[in-house]
Amino acid sequence: MIVEETVISPEELKAAQYFHGHQCPAMPQGLRAGHLAMDILGVTRARGGGELVAIVETGDHHFSGCFVDGVMFATGCTVGKGNLVRKPFGKFAVTLVEPSTGRAVRVTPRYARMSQCLTMDFFKLRAEGVPPYELDPGVVEPLIQDVLTKPWDEIFQVQTFSHYPYQKVPEVFDAVQCSRCGELVVSSYATSYDGQWYCPPCLDEMLHALDSQSR
Ligand SMILES: [Zn+2]
Ligand SMILES: [Zn+2]
C-alpha cells in the first residue's frame, strides 16, 4: 500500500507532549498511528463528534497505554466529543471509522515491534517503577525519533474495511431534574418510576431502600 503520509512536525509533537504530560515513545506511536489512519482514509481531523470515530483497544493500567493520547491528539477523536470508543482488549490498535461512508482502517503496531519494546531499557526501568518523567531523556529521545521516522510499514500493519459495522448514536439534547437529589440528568440516563424522574445513583439507592423496607 502506498500512503502519502503526513509528516508530524516538531510543533505538533511538542503540543501533543504538553497535552500528554511527559515524553515517552508510546504517545508518539499513537500520534503516528492516528495520522496514518487519517492519511489512508483521506480524511481530516475531527472538529465535531460526527465525522470520525476512533475505536481504541488499549485497556487500563498497562504499559504503553499512552498510545491512546497520541491517537486522540492526531485524530481529534476525544472522550468529551464522544467519538472515542474504548474496547479494552489490552491490545495496541486503533480503528478509525468514517460513519458517513462506513469506510474504516485499523492500524496496529506489528508484533515484532511491540515485543521488542518489552526488552528495551525504557520498559525495564518503567517496570521497575520509574515514572516516565524521571527517565533520562537520552534513553527516551532516540525511541521517539525512531517511532516517528521509520517507514510506517516496518512499524504498523493495517487492515481496511469498506463497510465497518458501526451504529451511529444520535446526540441527546434533553434533560430532566432528578426528584431525589434535585440535580440535572440527561434524559437518556434518567428513569421514570412512579411518575418521578431519577438519576442512576438515586434510582439505585431508592430501589435498595425499598428492598430493605419490604424485608
Ligand atoms: Zn506516555
Ligand atoms: Zn439523583
pLDDT of residue 214: 58
Rounded distance from Cα 136 to ligand 2 centre (Å):
49
Count how many residues are written for the chain: 215
Rounded distance from Cα 168 to ligand 2 centre (Å):
28
pLDDT of residue 213: 61
The residues, ordered by sequence, that sit 6+ positions from 205 with a Cβ below 8 Å of its Cβ are 180
- Structural domain including 25 reads 10-161
Rounded distance from Cα 212 to ligand 2 centre (Å):
19
- Same domain for 68 and 129? yes
Q: How far, in Å, CA of 26 to CA of 137, rounded?
A: 15
30 within some domain: yes
**DSSP one-letter string for 116-159:** HHTTSHHHHHHHTT--GGGS-HHHHHHHHHHHHHS-HHHHEEEE
170 within some domain: no
Taking phi first (over 0 means left), then psi (-120 to 50 degrees means alpha), and beta for anything else, what does residue 55 get?
A: beta
pLDDT of residue 115: 85
Ion ligand 1 residue ranges (Cβ < 5 Å):
24, 27, 66
Q: How far, in Å, CA of 96 to CA of 52, rounded?
A: 7
pLDDT of residue 212: 63
73 within 8 A of 103, measured Cβ to Cβ: no
Q: Pseudo-torsion of CA 168, 30, 13, 128, nearest 10°?
A: 140
Among all ligands shown, which has an atom nearest to the Cα of 206?
2
- Same domain for 157 and 179? no
Q: What is the DSSP letter of 20?
A: H
> Which three three-digit cell numbers place residue 141?
529521545
Among all ligands shown, which has an atom nearest to the Cα of 67?
1
- Same domain for 54 and 83? yes
Rounded distance from Cα 21 to ligand 1 centre (Å):
7
- Same domain for 135 and 205? no
Rounded distance from Cα 210 to ligand 1 centre (Å):
47
pLDDT of residue 170: 83
Rounded distance from Cα 104 to ligand 1 centre (Å):
26
pLDDT of residue 211: 65
Rounded distance from Cα 204 to ligand 2 centre (Å):
10
Report pLDDT digits (tens) over 38-54. Answer: 999 999 999 998 899 99
- Same domain for 143 and 206? no
The residues, ordered by sequence, that sit 6+ positions from 48 with a Cβ below 8 Å of its Cβ are 81
- Same domain for 148 and 195? no
- Same domain for 106 and 205? no
> Which three three-digit cell numbers place residue 202?
438515586
Q: What is the pLDDT along the chain (215 residues), one digit of tens a residue?
A: 888 899 999 999 999 999 999 999 999 999 999 999 999 999 999 999 889 999 999 998 888 899 999 999 999 999 999 999 999 999 999 999 999 999 999 999 999 888 877 788 888 888 888 888 888 888 889 999 999 999 999 999 999 999 999 888 888 899 999 999 999 999 999 999 999 999 999 999 988 887 666 55
Whether this prediction's pTM lies above 0.85 is answered by yes
Among all ligands shown, which has an atom nearest to the Cα of 190?
2
> Which three three-digit cell numbers place residue 190?
434518567
- Same domain for 155 and 80? yes
Rounded distance from Cα 215 to ligand 2 centre (Å):
24
Nearest Cα residue to 5 out of 33, 46, 26: 33
Q: How far, in Å, CA of 102 to CA of 162, rounded?
A: 6
pLDDT of residue 168: 82
* Number of domains the chain is built from: 2
Burial of residue 109 (CB within 10 Å: 0-12, 13-18, 19+) is buried
4 within some domain: no
Integer CA distances (angstroms), 172 to 63, 187, 188, 202, in order: 35, 8, 7, 21
Among all ligands shown, which has an atom nearest to the Cα of 197?
2
- Same domain for 76 and 111? yes
CATH number of the domain encompassing residue 59: 3.30.1330.130
Among all ligands shown, which has an atom nearest to the Cα of 176?
2
Nearest Cα residue to 176 out of 168, 166, 186: 186
Rounded distance from Cα 69 to ligand 1 centre (Å):
8
